[in-house]
Structure 1
Amino acid sequence: MDASSVTFSFFLIFTGAALFASVALYTRQPLIIAYIALGACIGPYGLSLVKDLKLLSDIGHIGIIFLLFLLGLDMQPKALWATLRKSTVVAVFSSTIFMAMGYGVAILFGFGNLDALIVGAAMMFSSTIIGIKLLPTTVLHHRHIGELMIGLLLLQDLLAIVVLMLLLGAANGDGETMGVEVGLSLASLPLLGLGAWLAVKYVLLPLIARFDRFHEYIFLLAIGWCLGVAEVAVMLGLSAEIGAFIAGISIATSPISQYIAVNLKPLRDFFLILFFFSVGARFDLGLLQQVLVPALLLSALVLTLKPVVYRFLLKGVSEKRVLAWDLGFRLGQASEFSLLIAYVATSAALISEQASLLIQATTIVTLLVSSYIVVLNYPTPIAISDRLRRD
């Protein structure tokens, strides 16, 4: 058997995931932890049975795209617009506080000014995958939380795009040109939304109405629409996640949206397992000792400060105290974008290896601990307790 083949890698990942998930369920642990632990065990820095992380990470990223598409299917455009207006204030103030937190810790431990700025920027974001994957969508109480969370995460997504473009501009030494590109990309967002709405109204819905008896056709059309709009978004300088979300919103008012959502969930879960595996496999535990103390301090600050900040900011925009705490803990971690920022900054030789390790270590530690906090204390689809399990 070819140990380097994708088929063999899939065999190891999904067979191992089934075994680790069984142990996790018997010991009442979150399933997400099982997938990350599997990556650490059989990835390049463990037993090295699976080595091609770039390919698996790219494949796993499709799970996030489908996840945002499904979320868009469940949100009405008017409700989203109202939520975004409220979320903007929270997003701006929280991002400023979290950047200052990361910058301060890095400076405290002797990192240079640029290292500290990039570490701070990486701490501004919360995990889309943890926040949304662990959120019940069919419970009335959590629909409003979902709307607020999507609003905050979409704004963070746009901010992350700006940060990544600025990093690439700094690497190329052409900050003015990059600034223009950032502006054009953000300006293209409403054009993408308008184009998606027109395509749905005059192309997609007529096709669905004509051939709705062919279920596999609806399935293929939905996948093509999701990935197509995601690719157009990338071409416009936005992210695939934003494109997928707009693709979902554009057909959210159609009766077919819930049928599409139900049929795409298994496909989404398939890719998400690969994503969590790649998160665990990417981290080199052998190098952790170089940044152990600052990583533990920064992780502790992220896990404690983020829920508190979100709680008070949401309370300030007239949200209920219980909802504010709930949402705060669900967003109380670093993000997949943090890992991407570390990767881009390292590739461009903008930060030191130690600063990159600090971002990676903090992100993975907070993803792990935050998953435990949410699964054990709040309603989720994968809760161990029957009382907290909500789809």
Structure 2
Amino acid sequence: MGLKLDLNLIKSTGRIALLTGLGQVVFTSAAGLLIGLALGFSGVQSLYIAVALTFSSTIIIVKLLTDKKEIDSLHGQIAIGFLIVQDLVVILIMIMLSAVGKSDDSSLLKDFAVTSLKGAVLAAAIYLLMKWVIPGLTHFQARSQELLSLFSIAWAILLASLSELMGFSSEVGAFLAGVSLASTPFREAISSRLVSLRDFLLLFFFINLGSTLDLSQLGALVPAALIFSFFVLIGNPLIVLIIMGVMGYTKRTSFLAGLTVAQISEFSLIFAGIGYQVGHISAEIVGLITLVGLITIGLSTYMILYSHVLYKWLAPVLQVFERQTPYGEKSIAANALHAYKAIVIGLGRFGSAIYDNLNTQGIPALGVDFDPKVVKNLRKQGRHIEYGDLEDPDIFERLPYQHVDFIINTVPDDDLASLMIKNLRSQGYKGYILVTAKNLKSAARLSAYDTDDVLLPFTMAAEGINLRLEKLVTQPRRRSVTGNLHLSG
């Protein structure tokens, strides 16, 4: 889990991630506590249940957003940002529990202070290692993938052992080991090499959970589990919708980000297990939280997979969560209008090359990309860039498309491209529309729509190389003794 938590993501999403993460934790905890008390649970039990409901699964969300290619979108980055904030909060809570569970009332305050000091020392030491030691060490280890993998495992075991020696749980140390490696350039390489080991060990995690889940004792708790699950599935997204709406974000961004908190986390189950170990809650409460986890993780996965369909259904109702003039995304989409002649959507290598060529040839172009970091970096270079996501049906309402001669989509997605063509033509756009295909089959499909041309990047690159070779072979050339042609220039 720690390997997925690059702390730099909090910097990129900044204030919205911090406020949404902390706000959701506070409001969900308060509401969950009241629901627990209303259902007849004791104060301590209700508190544990409420806290467990506040944390969402970073691993599941990262996996789903990556599969949907939305990890770099605005709502994806905001979601990952506040999920990191949540995970940091639960780690702090687990650190405190490690001390509280071993204390009696007379020494509670003393142990709490000692634990806080130990936690601060551990965090400071890891921060210094992240800043001065780990980058160089991982760079050296990366010369061998096997060595990098072994180092990562050894580092996790070392910090887990150190964490236990300091009085914390081993999960805290292992998590911090992952976080310390997540900010290095080799995070993905480490994660990909350890994925089989992770999945193998994950089996035992769930086997252990299943072995502690006594269904015969949960019969009376099923109605409570359903109520808590309903709150997590509906209430958590509503809380995020309200917070982001107040902060000026559009209903679409708020809704898509809010769906990512519609389940509880693996940390919620670990948190409940620690509470059981220190004697604060019974096995039945752990089973209740586990049951809520099974329900919410299962259902929320499909809610996220079909998030855009859900948005289309609920868009009219969601208007109440959006300010009359949303300003939260103005910092991303607030360029002054220019006399643009073309709009280029998608600023990867292919799209950026087209954008630059148009402007070089005296055709002023407006660039559009869905990655806030790309938008920010390109603006720093003096380019005219707007934030926009093709999956947003209202994208062209914020773009001066009626006044441009060309709209060029470089995102190789047939469904998005065909939807864009239909939307533009239905709104009366008379200019040229160019879309990008992945292959000849996609090109044939897109040609059936009202588009003026279909771009094939690899074919165009090959044609460019052929022209370059033709130019080179017409120039004087040298042949080696073996007869091989040497091309220069």
Normalised by the size of structure 2, how large is the TM-score? 0.54
- TM-aligned CA distance change 1:342 to 1:296, over 3 Å: same
- TM-aligned CA distance change 1:318 to 1:148, over 3 Å: farther
- TM-aligned CA distance change 1:96 to 1:322, over 3 Å: same
Q: Which amino acid aligns with 1:187?
A: A
Q: Deviations over 1:63-91 (max 9, x none)?
A: x4xxx32x24xx4x544335465433223
Say whether the 8 Å CA contact 1:291–1:358 is kept in structure 2.
Answer: yes
* Corresponding position of 1:12: none
How do 1:233-244 and structure 2 match up within 5 A?
237=168, 239-244=172-177
Q: What is the number of equivalent residue pairs in this alignment?
A: 305
Say whether the 8 Å CA contact 1:127–1:336 is kept in structure 2.
Answer: yes
Residue in structure 2 matching 1:176, options 95, 98, 109 = 109
Whole-Å Cα distance in 2 between the matches of residues 304 and 79 of structure 1?
A: 26
Q: CA deviation at 1:148?
A: 1.6
Whole-Å Cα distance in 1 between the matches of residues 308 and 231 of structure 2?
A: 21
Q: Which amino acid aligns with 2:81?
A: L
How do 1:187-336 and structure 2 match up within 5 A?
187-188=120-121, 189-208=123-142, 212=143, 214-229=144-159, 231-232=161-162, 237=168, 239-252=172-185, 256-336=186-266
Find the residue that maps to 1:126 and give its secondary structure.
Answer: coil
- TM-aligned CA distance change 1:88 to 1:358, over 3 Å: same
Q: Which amino acid aligns with 1:80?
A: I
- TM-aligned CA distance change 1:126 to 1:136, over 3 Å: same
Say whether the 8 Å CA contact 2:276–2:286 is kept in structure 1.
Answer: yes
Structure 2, unmatched stretches of 5+, are 310-413, 417-489
Find the residue that maps to 1:136 and give its secondary structure.
Answer: helix
How do 1:1-391 and structure 2 match up within 5 A?
64=1, 68-69=2-3, 71-72=4-5, 75=6, 78-83=8-13, 85-136=15-66, 139=70, 140-141=72-73, 144-145=77-78, 147-162=80-95, 164-165=97-98, 167-169=100-102, 174-188=107-121, 189-208=123-142, 212=143, 214-229=144-159, 231-232=161-162, 237=168, 239-252=172-185, 256-352=186-282, 354-377=284-307
Say whether the 8 Å CA contact 2:241–2:255 is kept in structure 1.
Answer: yes
Q: Which amino acid aligns with 2:130?
A: A
Structure with the bigger percentage of helix: 1
Q: CA deviation at 1:196?
A: 2.8
Find the residue that maps to 1:130 and give its secondary structure.
Answer: helix
Say whether the 8 Å CA contact 1:200–1:250 is kept in structure 2.
Answer: no
- TM-aligned CA distance change 1:135 to 1:186, over 3 Å: farther
Q: Which amino acid aligns with 1:179?
A: F
Whole-Å Cα distance in 1 between the matches of residues 297 and 78 of structure 2?
A: 20
Instruction: Note the aligned Cα RMSD (angstroms).
Output: 3.5
Whole-Å Cα distance in 2 between the matches of residues 262 and 352 of structure 1?
A: 38
Whole-Å Cα distance in 2 between the matches of residues 372 and 185 of structure 1?
A: 42
Q: Which amino acid aligns with 1:183?
A: S
Q: Which amino acid aligns with 2:87?
A: L
* Corresponding position of 2:486: none
Say whether the 8 Å CA contact 2:55–2:268 is kept in structure 1.
Answer: yes
Q: Deviations over 1:250-281 (max 9, x none)?
A: 423xxx55443443333333333444454445
* Corresponding position of 2:341: none
Say whether the 8 Å CA contact 2:33–2:47 is kept in structure 1.
Answer: yes
Q: CA deviation at 1:296?
A: 1.5
- TM-aligned CA distance change 1:298 to 1:87, over 3 Å: same
Whole-Å Cα distance in 2 between the matches of residues 134 and 279 of structure 1?
A: 23
- TM-aligned CA distance change 1:123 to 1:377, over 3 Å: same
Whole-Å Cα distance in 2 between the matches of residues 287 and 269 of structure 1?
A: 30
Find the residue that maps to 1:374 and give its secondary structure.
Answer: helix
Q: Which amino acid aligns with 1:153?
A: Q
Say whether the 8 Å CA contact 2:18–2:81 is kept in structure 1.
Answer: no
Q: CA deviation at 1:94?
A: 1.6
- Rg larger for: 2
Normalised by the size of structure 1, how large is the TM-score? 0.65
Say whether the 8 Å CA contact 1:231–1:243 is kept in structure 2.
Answer: no
Q: Which amino acid aligns with 2:36?
A: A
